[in-house]
């Protein structure tokens, strides 16, 4: 959950976070 919020803010790890989940 924290990774998703951070990824959305950075906008760079967005795809990476989604794949990790």
pLDDT tens-digit profile of 1-21? Answer: 566 666 566 666 667 666 766
Residue 7, SS3?
A: helix
Model pLDDT, residue 8: 63
Q: Please name the residue that has the structure tokens 């989604």.
A: 18
Q: CB-based contacts of 18: which residues, under 8 Å, 6+ apart?
A: 4, 7
pLDDT of the residue at 11: 62
Residue 2: per-residue pLDDT? 66
The pTM is what?
A: 0.19
DSSP single-letter state for residue 11: S
pLDDT attached to residue 19: 72
- CA 12 to centroid of chain Cα atoms: 8
- Sign of the C-alpha dihedral computed for residues 17, 8, 4 and 6 taken in this order: positive
pLDDT score of 9: 64
């Amino acid at each position: 959950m924290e990774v998703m919020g951070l990824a959305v803010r950075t906008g760079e790890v967005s795809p990476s976070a989604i794949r990790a989940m």
